[in-house]
Each structure stands twice: as C-alpha cells, then as structure tokens.
Structure 1
Amino acid sequence: MNRTYLLLLVPLALLLLPAAQRSSPPSLQQTLQANEWKKRVLLVAAPTAEHPDFRAQKAQLATAPAQLSARDFLVIDVLYDQLSPADKNYLTKEIGVQPPRFATVLIGKDGRVKMKSARPIPLAKLFGTVDQMPMRKQEMQRGVIDTE
C-alpha cells in the first residue's frame, strides 16, 4: 500500500514543481528585459522603504499618476534588503547603482540608462528629460500618448 501511495505522489509532485518554480517573482533583469520597447522604467532604489529620499521620491510620484501613465512609465521599487544576490549584482554591475546608497534611475524604452541621481528627481526634470527623447517626441507627434 505504501508503494502505491508513493507511485501516485511522485507524479503529482512533478506536476506541481513547475508551478512552484513559476511562482517566484522575476528577477530585476527579467523585469527590465520584459519591458524593453514597451515601458520607460524608473527604478527607485534604497536600503529600505523608510529611507527619507525613497519616501520623498515616492511622494512626488504619487502626485502625478496621469503624467507617468501618459509617458508609459513603470515605477519599480528596489529595496536592497529584499533583493536576491543576483539582483544586487545586476543592479551594481549593469545599472551602476551602489547599495546601500539611494538612487533613482531612468531607463528608456530601449533599455538604456538615461539618467541617474543620488537624490530624488524633481518631476519637472524627469518629465522634461523624457519629453526630449526622440521616441517620446515621435509619440507626441503621432498623438499616441498625451502630454498632460
């Protein structure tokens, strides 16, 4: 009887294993790659969500949801105390962010870093930078995305 139970349990476990593996969140690199040519990404990076600059940047962003949406933004909170070692390595080597320092990083739709700041980026500067990008200018000319 135990052998029969085991024979039923093993295939069931094998079926559930891929589902369990899929449930882990994607890495930072995977998230950025998945949004390439689709979204402009703003990384807001800090040691914890309680960091004063993190809170200040998030508060600014919270006042402008329509402007962020109009410019196809994806805002990603990057909290160092929650990153995997692989994500920390990617953030340091590929993005150029040095934990535990605060950083805000603008990544264009082409996947390249467009702006990095060790302080919160004022919204006027952030939107002004994006609105000067060639792809954004094309979007505005085609009327695809509002400037509001």
Structure 2
Amino acid sequence: MKLSLFMASVGLLASLSSASAQGDLDALRWKNRILILFAPSDGDPSFTRQSRLLLADEKGLAERELVVLGVAGGKVETLFGDPRAKHDAGALRRHFGLDARAPFEAILIGKDGGVKWRQDAPFEPRDMNAVIDAMPMRRAGR
C-alpha cells in the first residue's frame, strides 16, 4: 500500500512538473519561436560553441522572433530574447525526456508550441533558419 501510494505521488509530481514546463512555454506561444539548448553544464563544449554561433547573428534571431534558452545543469538562462515566464530546468528536461546528464541537444519549438526540429550536435544557424523560413507562419510574415 505504501509503495503504491509513493509511486502515485511520484507520478503526480512528474506530471505536474511537465505541466509546469508546458505552462511556462505556453506563455510564449503564438508570440515567439523557442530554441532550447540542453547540456549537462554551461562548460559543455557543444553548448558553448552553439551559443557563440547563434549569438553571432542576433539580427537573424530577432527577425525570426526567437527566444533562446540555455538549460545547463540545474539552471535555465535566457541567451536571447525576452521570455515572460520563469523556467525550471528539471521540468523542461522531464517535459522533453532528457536526463540531467544527457549530452547536448537543441530543440526548436514553433509558435504553435510544437517541436519542429531537434539536433544532437552544434549546427550552423543557417540550417535552423531554413527550417524556420519554411514554416507556414514565417512564410505568411508572422
């Protein structure tokens, strides 16, 4: 009985954390595209390289209405843009099925809230821009 009650509590907490992450992301829905960079630490070479590549083209990020979040270790940092919600690293990792020790991963979320692109290695911004520029809302000028 105690074990099943414990397991139910753990399940409830996990679903609440995932709901919390979705709620935080929903605050940006229809306003911004979101790129989340996940890494085990902020000293991760892939995280550092990707951040540098992206921030070299702030004009392109702004044109595409992107908010870039870095989830490194247990913290979330806004790398570009103006998010209107607080984000929890653990909740974001659980929401996207990533362990805290998982290697680098980048996830692009469209304005509709759906995952549009995932990469497990640093990429050139032009590759991401091509994905965004092909999106119906982007082609419609939104």
RMSD: 1.9
Asked if the contact 1:45/1:102 (under 8 Å) is kept, the reply is yes
Runs of 4+ in 1 over 4 A off after TM superposition: none
Structure 1 residue 130: deviation in Å?
0.2
Identity %, equivalent residues: 31
Structure 2 residue 60 is matched with structure 1 residue 59: no
Q: How many residue pairs end up in the alignment?
A: 111
Unmatched tracts of structure 1, length 5 or more: 1-26
Amino acid at match of 2:118: K
Give the strand-richer structure, 1 or 2. Answer: 2
Q: Cα distance, 1:128 vs. partner? A: 0.3
**Given the two structures, how large is their TM-score scaled by the length of structure 1?**
0.68
CA contact (8 A) 1:40 1:107 kept: yes
Give the structure with the higher percent helix.
1
Pick aligned residue for 2:42 from 49, 54, 59: 49
The higher radius of gyration belongs to: 1
Relative to structure 2, which stretch is displaced further, 50-59 or 117-126? 117-126
Q: Normalised by the size of structure 2, how large is the TM-score?
A: 0.70
Structure 2 distance, partners of 1:68, 1:116, is 17
- 1:104–1:121 contact (8 Å) kept in structure 2: no
1:87 Cα deviation after fit: 4.3
* Structure 2 unmatched ranges of 5 or more: 1-19, 77-87
Task: Please list, as runs of the form range in 1=range in 2, the aligned pairs for 1:1-148 lying within 5 A after superposition.
Answer: 28-82=21-75, 87-92=89-94, 94-100=95-101, 101-139=103-141
Matched AA of 2:108:
L
